[in-house]
Amino acid sequence: MPIAVRVEIDAEGVATVWFDAPGRSVNTFTAAVLDEFSGVIEQVEALARDKKINGVVFASAKPGVFITGADLAEMMRYDASGMLAFLEKGQGVLERIARLPVVTVAAINGHCLGGGFELALACTYRVAADEGTINIGLPEVKLGMIPAWGGTTRVTRMIGLRRALPLLISGESLTPRKAKTAGLIDEVAAPEQLMKVAKEMIGRGPRTPLEPPAEKQQLLDTPTAMGEFCERERRAVLAETFGHYPAMLGVIDVAETAAREGHEEGLRAERERLAGLSQTAACKNLLRMFFLRQSVKKAAQRTSPGQITSEILINRLLVSYVAEALAMARETGDIARIDVAMRRWGMGMGPFEWCDQLGLDAVLVIFTTIGESTGSRAPTELTEIAERGWLGRKSGRGFYVYDGETMLKNGDALALLRSEGGAENVPDDETIQWRLVLPMVNEAVRLLEAGVVASPDTVDVASVLGFGFPAFRGGLMHYARSVGVEEIERRMNEWAERWGERFRPAPGLRAILSGNEPRP
């Protein structure tokens, strides 16, 4: 088998463990590489025991990349017990590094993410090349997971709960200098000096075991203060995500366990929580979306027609979304209720917030452009609001009135909607959500039928990247398929009778949602 990990020992007795996955541009931990790495650590343990080495440097032979983490394609295939076994093995290898009787240094020459950074955290010291393009961090939460090779526990105990949680919840990656400021790495070095500095750091000797630094200064020195802080963080996450991203709540729970109960309990909590999270629809959909984005990005880079197709698709979906929102606003006279319902469902912004953000003049251009090919016209109210110069956030007034951070409904704009209804006509959240999503499903089916869009996967990526369709739902078509064609058709036919023929299922809907879409 090709070798991905090798050891070199220099004249000073420093062992360098080199990562260099053959035939790949990045280093990742597949199960096979993890087994190989475990064998290398066994060699290093023997060398250290026999006093043949006095330190270890972990380094990458890949330009611009240290290690980007575990192999996500493999992780997608694990059931809960398979995931648990993989996590136990990974944690076990990194624990053996942390227990080596010699100083260890991670020489971070490039992107150091996920499991790669968890390896670095298990070392005595960390030094990174001083390049602003390098990303260092634990982005697992963005994929519906949590760091579970000791990352959540070590970061929490290294920099304290108050500083650790914002990084863990956001999954934010940092440049080397910012990572040093955050206390995640010890030094930055000129790229050409990286290995020299790493070897010099071995001379510093072992670290003094740290209490979670400055927790007392951060006023989290009692279990009560810690609990209250974590509870505030949970409430903030729920307010922002409505519970759709369980990994964000999971990482708070695990970090709190690590801070309260110590290293071993933190590791156990990591394993158990990620084994469960990995089987959730949110995690599976976010991972699927990650791979789809990569493949679509490659296709778009190869062809400008790919970019044009995406623009047409996004614009057609948006027109159907906003047009239905306007129709509902005419019935109810309440735009905020519609926006809130869609945010609760997982959209980044509701339709009217989105219009104001983009600018009503730009929204009108989209409606006009699409109208030229479909024969439809921009809603009169949209034109009238824009003609008054109420263009959204940039003009301080659109569907809402903006004053700094304050956002209030624009009563004058609502009057132009000529609403005949009132608050008693406002439907429940579920009705609002379905009414705005179903027209987009129909529109996507028409574009797939006509051959304008190549595949449902393209729709999924465009809907997530183009206007904030919730990634945790897997994209527009994936979501419709997960609901099932019978339920989608039932709702569409029922609502076509109630609200108009625009809800009638497009002819190809059943075939496309069943996965038997005809090839034009």
Q: How far apart are the first and last CA of the chain?
A: 44
Angle separating helix axes 351-358 and 360-374, nearest 10 degrees: 100
Please report how many Cα atoms fall inside a 13 Å half-sphere around the Cα of residue 361, on the Cβ side. 9
CA distance 448 to 360: 28
Cα dihedral across residues 362, 367, 371, 373: positive or negative: positive
Q: For the chain, how many residues are written?
A: 520
Residue 245 to residue 237: CA distance in whole angstroms: 9
CA distance 386 to 254: 49
Q: Is 202 helix (H, G, I), strand (E, B) or coil?
A: helix
Q: What are phi and psi of 334, to 5 degrees?
A: -130, 105
Could you give the CA distance from residue 309 to residue 453 in angstroms, rounded to a whole number? 7
**CA 9, 88, 215 angle in degrees (round to 5)?**
85
Q: How far apart are CA 156 and CA 263, in angstroms?
A: 10
Half-sphere exposure at residue 181, Cβ-oriented, CA atoms within 13 angstroms: 7
The candidate with the shortest Cα–Cα distance to 55, out of 262, 184, 203, 244, is 203
Catalytic positions, written as ranges = 70, 115, 118, 140
Reported as type and span, the H/E element at residue 16 is: strand 14-19
d(Cα 150, Cα 250) in Å, to the nearest integer? 14
Cβ atoms 103, 201 nearer than 8 A: yes
Of the candidates 510, 471, 512, 516, the one whose C-alpha atom is nearest the C-alpha of residue 492 is 510
Assess contact for 186 and 126: CB atoms under 8 A: yes
Q: Which two tokens stand for residue 188?
A: 């930055």
- State which amino acid sits at residue 387: E
